[in-house]
Structure 1
């Protein structure tokens, strides 16, 4: 059975990948950092390495550099970068590092599945989209309906399941953000903004996603005052989203 190693520190994005690939005949390993990933690679070969770029400690670039210098670590595994930061210079750098494919966040379920299937040599089974077009158990906004089509292959049940896990995670994200804000940990705020902009966009929450992006950019520019302001705004949006979506 093919083995896929996901290197991603954001719990919500981990779950998105888990849900997307759960019906595929493969073993999915998950690491939250480069060091965890190297530890898993030391335990046995994998067929696909799917990595984010912005990670705690060493980055995805650092991992790819290490694998290029020590090819025996990755073996025959293909490397795919899964990131929201694929600028033109970054893409050129990744190509030079021998990356097999680059996927931009947020991604559709079908695009992710197709990439994994091709990478590990699986043939996709033809299935009817039984959830596509079904009436949801609750009324979705036009933006959420668009998100279901763009990222969840029209599967409303999948969207609702994923959204529920994200709402649970938002409470933890708020604690993480408050801790980073209290110590003016700009790298922590940057990582949080980077992750939340993707998760929120995947859920069809465009305005809150833009707040995440603004936080990421302010923290990247080492603007502590503006970063704290943007975190306050993003935190309020997360709290409002949690209140709106909590079970009645």
Structure 2
């Protein structure tokens, strides 16, 4: 069975990848730091690595730099950078470090599947089964236009997959809120920046556009070392997460 290593610290993104790859016929190993990822690579070979760039401790770029310096680190393994921070300069840097593929968050299930299938050299590509009409219709009864667009864009039209992923995210939001409160109380700007970076992608994928904008702003303010504004922005983002939990957990259908 092919083996895939996912290095991603956001639990909601981890779940998205799990949902997307659950029928691919590969073992998915998940870790949230480069340090732990390197330990996994020392223990057994992997066919593909999916890594974020912004991670606690060392970054995804550090992983690529270490592999270039040490030919013994996953020499035959293709590395896919899976990030919302793929600026032109970052892409140039990654190309120089020998990254195999770059995927921008948010991404659709189909695009992620296609990339992984190509990376594994599998044949034929995994088939994503469209939900039957009655199932999709009943699942979409309470969905608005933005949510239906998100389902088509990111979930290959599978409303049930979207709803499963959203429920997992709603549960994770309680953990995110607790972590954000701790970062706010300790004035930990790097942690607030990572929080904004991760939630930005999750909220866009869920069609929570206002929350995604708040998360993007938090990431920017924390990066600019604007503590007072970042703390205020976290308060607004926290309210948006709580509002999403209330709306969707009490929503009929």
Which TM bucket (shorter chain)?
Answer: over 0.9
* Counterpart position of 1:154: 157
Indicate the RMSD between aligned Cα atoms, in angstroms: 1.3
* Counterpart position of 1:134: 136
Quote the offset at 1:127 in angstroms. 5.5
**Residues in 2 aligned to 1:153 and 1:194: alpha-carbon distance in whole angstroms:** 24
* Counterpart position of 1:224: 227
**TM norm structure 1:** 0.97
* Counterpart position of 1:41: 41
**Residues in 2 aligned to 1:89 and 1:19: alpha-carbon distance in whole angstroms:** 31
**Residues in 1 aligned to 2:83 and 2:132: alpha-carbon distance in whole angstroms:** 28
**Residues in 2 aligned to 1:86 and 1:126: alpha-carbon distance in whole angstroms:** 28
* Counterpart position of 1:169: 172
**TM norm structure 2:** 0.95
Further displaced range: 145-154 or 125-134: 125-134
- Once the two structures are superposed, residues 174-226 of structure 1 have per-residue CA deviations (whole angstroms, 9 ceiling, x without a partner) of 00000000010000000000000000000011111010000000000000011
**Residues in 2 aligned to 1:125 and 1:42: alpha-carbon distance in whole angstroms:** 29
Q: 2:184 aligns with which of 172, 181, 206?
A: 181
- Contact kept? 2:113, 2:126, Cα under 8 Å: no
Quote the offset at 1:136 in angstroms. 3.5
| Gapped regions of structure 2 (runs ≥ 5) | none
- Describe the SS at the equivalent of 1:49: strand
**Residues in 2 aligned to 1:157 and 1:77: alpha-carbon distance in whole angstroms:** 33
| Gapped regions of structure 1 (runs ≥ 5) | none
Alignment of 1:45-194 (within 5 A): 45-123=45-123, 124-126=125-127, 128-131=129-132, 134-137=136-139, 138-194=141-197
**Residues in 2 aligned to 1:42 and 1:118: alpha-carbon distance in whole angstroms:** 24
**Residues in 2 aligned to 1:159 and 1:246: alpha-carbon distance in whole angstroms:** 14
Quote the offset at 1:247 in angstroms. 4.5
